[in-house]
Structure 1
Amino acid sequence: MSAKFLQILLIAMAATFSGCRNNSGDAHEGESHEGHNHEAEAKSEAKADPHAGHNHGEAPKFQYTAYSNSHELFAEADAFIAGKKAAILSHFSILPGFKAVEEGKITAILTVNGQESRAELSAPTRKGIYLFEITPSTAGKGSLRFVISEKGGNTESGTGEKGELRKRGNYEVIVSEVTVFADDHAPYHALQPEPSAVNTTVFTKEQSWKIDFATALPAQEPFGEIIKTSALVTSSQEGEAIVSAKSAGIVIFSAGVVTEGMSVSAGQTIASISGGMADNNPAIRFEEARNNFEKASADFERAKLLSADNIISQKEFTDTKNRYDNAKSVYDNLRGNFSRSGQSVKSPLGGFIRQLFVSNGAYVEAGTPLMVVSQSRKLTLTASLPQRYLPVLATVREASIKANSQSPALSLGELKGRVLSYGKAANSDNFLIPFTMQIENNGSFIPGSFVEVYLKGLSGTNVITVPVKALMEEQGLFYVWVQITPELFEKREVKVGRNDGRSAEILSGLQATERVVTAGAVQIKLAQATGTLDAHSGHVH
């Protein structure tokens, strides 16, 4: 039975094969097969229509990125074709904060062969996003210019990317080269290959506008030897004074309670020193001086009347006046520092009491230090360095200073500081070389504390550097986020050299023309961990 089944199956398959051959022959019925070459025919058809069989698929989009001193532009546009309307989805960010443009009129001007096509929007389509529609008038190479008119006249509005003062008004962002095509097919051949998605992460402008985010080009600057050390913070000599007792006696605080850290103003009476003994008693000296002055003053007034009537000689009048002047000088001197209760202890400058040496009621001798009054507006930083750094110290003109591990490093220039001196000989106590700088206190530095310092020696060689906050570390390897587009970033490993607390030298892995993320790198890392997003998610095309 099985043999019969196989025989029937073979007969059915043969019949099916025969039918297929007959149908194939019918398809070419009436055609000459003599010399018929399918390959030559296909080539002939392709030559007749260069786009026949060419599946263009979705209409091409072109991306444009441009920067000015005040704004960043990231746009995605339809292909510009002469005589046809094209949409331009434009994202505008205000520099240096990279925040969205939320108001203001923007005009898009497409210029090709001297002919302009314009589109204007009085307000954003969405926060930070302007959707223009523009119709090019002619084909060719040209430029795309955006004129941004912010509201508010000449009100200050932060600083630009390079640090210059940015005021509200008219600004321009220019895409220097765009192409307007002559027909619908040309844009497909002008498309550039999409950037590699290997190790890249999408981070949209809508996301970056919500966080502290920034990008910048690497700096090319001299970067000499870096000496990392610590420095002791003290008040500068010009901003600190020791208050001493001018006479012996008992210290009595005027305010009742005087403590370290208490604010004082210049000329404020802080304490008094009363003489508890008869010898060298300041209160008795003050009373004697006052009585002598009052007597000399009365004698002088009487002598003036007698001299006017020529009753006394000119010599007697001169002697009387001399006694009066001497008594007045002594009294005025004591009156400024003493009273009936004793010597008045006054602050020589405004600031705070940094150190208190005596207690209320203590007996002191003349010349005894009572307290230190400090302003802390100007501070002295003193670092002690090993002798091997002596040749480098002569070239140090700049430094980075961190008040604590959590605070950012500030340059000597930002703190309005300067290098005062460096030791030409080692200290006899620890055999280290002192290096001294002066800075203005921004409120982060406390006298008596230690700070982290990066001393920077001069160098004539320019190197590529990036801000330290742009670096991310994983298992001892460093990488940065390199901007492919303002919405696509590549995680790239770099080799790091010297570090001054603010900037790090990049030895390899990064070009000077590649923009990197300098703020918000952690958020991009988190976005990478959550998975890949659509680069155009949330965009209104």
Structure 2
Amino acid sequence: MKKIYIILWAICAYTLAACGNHADKEHEAHDHEGHEHENEHEEEARPGEIVFPVEKAEAVGLKTKTVQPEAFAEVIKTSGRIVPAQGDERTLSATVSGIVSFTDTNTPFIEGTAVRKEQPVLSLASGDMADGDIYVRIRAAFEKAKSDYDMADALVKNRIISEKEWRQAVAPYETAKAAFDAVRDKQGDGGIAVLSPINGYLKNIRVKEGDYAAAGQPLATVAQDSRLVLRAEVSEKYYGSLPLIRSAHFRTAYDHCLYRLPELNGRLLSYARSPEEGSFYVPVSFEFDNRGGIVSGAYAEVFLLASPVPDVLCVPLSALTEEQGVYFVYIQLDEDCYRKQEVTTGADNGAEVRILSGLTAGDVVVTEAAYHLKLATASAAMPAHTHHH
């Protein structure tokens, strides 16, 4: 009986020992597999890479550009002002002396009011003045001169007066007729109307209701603004580069839109040969079509474009992000993987910036929605990604 118990005890001990060894081997195998997985994960996770799924890229409007060498114009950055082109404005002047009245017009006499050519803008009344109504005086002078002319014409035909005496009657008649013709069709209840000389809009209002205006006095300006002039003020240190300037871009403060003169049928008018008196700046003028949205009199940031430099790498300004004075772009590695790249920038023309270092030809750079990648970089939780080079 004892032998049986001894045999059973031996069998149990052997079984337990075998199970223990198997468990140790499985544990070792599991630990080894775990270490291999960790090592593999460490190899696959590339530092500095940013995962941005295609779906998100499409949602935020992410766009890219393959950087290739191209010509890039030298840039002189300065400021300037938009002014009317010569002949694009006309002064509205008083045709006779009188008191400004708006009785006969429905046109608001305020800045920006649109007017048509020959449209009455205001009237000049003189009925209450000491000299009397000017229209009545002009008409009376014309009627007297015409009567004298008719009489002289009849007398000269009958050889009662000489031709010299007849000519003495002709001159006053023609003068009086010209004066009357100038106001004949303009008289109304409020006085003699002043008509707009061109189509445009009112600006530079100089009088108001009830003011006295002498004949020839400027009352307002009628502007068309179909053509405008960009007047850039350039520091005299760039004087040697002025002959190289060919075109310009500019941006106004009120809409932050970049305007390119070649797209506006623009052309260089001239540059001054010396600074203006009392100034350290040399004016450079361009003329261009106003295709709407550009306000005469507005100040602008100006990018003067000189001779092009060949084989330059450049990217849109929207591709840049900035951190503490250092600029970066994002390079696309594959359809959903990107890398942040520090770059050194040169001059910009308001649309594109020259890259001096940090990029090579063929790099695919994010040009739109780069800010979203910057946010993804700053995110603490970044998804794992496998990328084989």
TM-score > 0.5, shorter chain as reference: yes
Amino acid aligned to 1:479: F
Higher helix share: 2
SS in 2 for 1:459: strand
Note the C-alpha offset of 1:400.
1.8
Judged with a 3 Å threshold, the aligned counterparts in structure 2 of structure 1 residues 449 and 436 are, in CA distance, closer, same or farther, namely same
SS in 1 for 2:375: helix
Residue ranges of structure 1 left out of the alignment (5+ in a row): 1-11, 21-193, 304-311, 314-318, 537-541
Judged with a 3 Å threshold, the aligned counterparts in structure 2 of structure 1 residues 451 and 375 are, in CA distance, closer, same or farther, namely same
Structure-2 residue corresponding to 1:435: 284
Structure 1 segments (4+ residues) deviating >6 Å? 292-296
Alignment partner of 1:514 out of 363, 369, 372: 363
Note the C-alpha offset of 1:237.
2.5
Are residue 413 (structure 1) and residue 262 (structure 2) matched? yes
Alignment partner of 2:93 out of 214, 234, 244: 244
Cα distance in 1, alignment partners of residues 384 and 90 from structure 2 = 65
Cα distance in 1, alignment partners of residues 44 and 138 from structure 2 = 90
Residues paired across the two proteins, number: 335
Are residue 208 (structure 1) and residue 60 (structure 2) matched? no
Cα distance in 2, alignment partners of residues 288 and 220 from structure 1 = 80
The farther-off stretch of 354-363 and 255-264 is: 255-264
Structure-2 residue corresponding to 1:41: none
SS in 2 for 1:288: helix
Note the C-alpha offset of 1:468.
0.7
- For residues 209-249 of structure 1, give each alpha carbon's deviation from its aligned partner in whole angstroms, at most 9, with x where no partner exists: 22233212235333343221111222222321111112222
Alignment partner of 1:466 out of 307, 315, 319: 315
User: How high is the TM-score relative to the length of structure 2?
Assistant: 0.73
Note the C-alpha offset of 1:348.
1.8
Cα distance in 1, alignment partners of residues 134 and 275 from structure 2 = 47
Amino acid aligned to 1:284: V
Note the C-alpha offset of 1:294.
9.3
Structure-1 residue corresponding to 2:121: 270
- For residues 365-410 of structure 1, give each alpha carbon's deviation from its aligned partner in whole angstroms, at most 9, with x where no partner exists: 1111100122233322222222221111111112221112862422
Judged with a 3 Å threshold, the aligned counterparts in structure 2 of structure 1 residues 291 and 497 are, in CA distance, closer, same or farther, namely same
User: How high is the TM-score relative to the length of structure 1?
Assistant: 0.54
Note the C-alpha offset of 1:343.
2.9
Cα distance in 2, alignment partners of residues 409 and 372 from structure 1 = 29
Alignment partner of 1:380 out of 222, 225, 229: 229
Are residue 282 (structure 1) and residue 282 (structure 2) matched? no
- For residues 427-484 of structure 1, give each alpha carbon's deviation from its aligned partner in whole angstroms, at most 9, with x where no partner exists: 1122421111223335443332311111121134331111111111111111111122
Structure-1 residue corresponding to 2:37: none
Note the C-alpha offset of 1:505.
0.5
Are residue 523 (structure 1) and residue 372 (structure 2) matched? yes
Amino acid aligned to 2:116: S
Alignment partner of 1:220 out of 69, 85, 88: 69
SS in 1 for 2:121: strand
Judged with a 3 Å threshold, the aligned counterparts in structure 2 of structure 1 residues 349 and 533 are, in CA distance, closer, same or farther, namely farther
Judged with a 3 Å threshold, the aligned counterparts in structure 2 of structure 1 residues 285 and 195 are, in CA distance, closer, same or farther, namely farther
- Give the aligned CA root-mean-square deviation in angstroms: 3.9
Cα distance in 1, alignment partners of residues 384 and 198 from structure 2 = 64
Judged with a 3 Å threshold, the aligned counterparts in structure 2 of structure 1 residues 532 and 421 are, in CA distance, closer, same or farther, namely same
- Which protein, 1 or 2, shows the higher relative CO under an 8 Å CA cutoff with sep ≥ 6? 2
What pairs up with 1:119-518 in 2 under 5 angstroms? 197-218=46-67, 220-253=69-102, 254-255=105-106, 257-275=108-126, 276-277=128-129, 279=131, 282-288=134-140, 291=143, 331-335=180-184, 337-338=186-187, 341-404=190-253, 407-518=256-367
Are residue 532 (structure 1) and residue 345 (structure 2) matched? no
Contact 2:94 2:218 in 1 (8 A): yes
Contact 1:398 1:455 in 2 (8 A): yes
Cα distance in 1, alignment partners of residues 313 and 287 from structure 2 = 29
Judged with a 3 Å threshold, the aligned counterparts in structure 2 of structure 1 residues 256 and 480 are, in CA distance, closer, same or farther, namely closer
Note the C-alpha offset of 1:486.
2.9
Contact 1:282 1:338 in 2 (8 A): no
Cα distance in 1, alignment partners of residues 142 and 273 from structure 2 = 55
SS in 2 for 1:489: strand
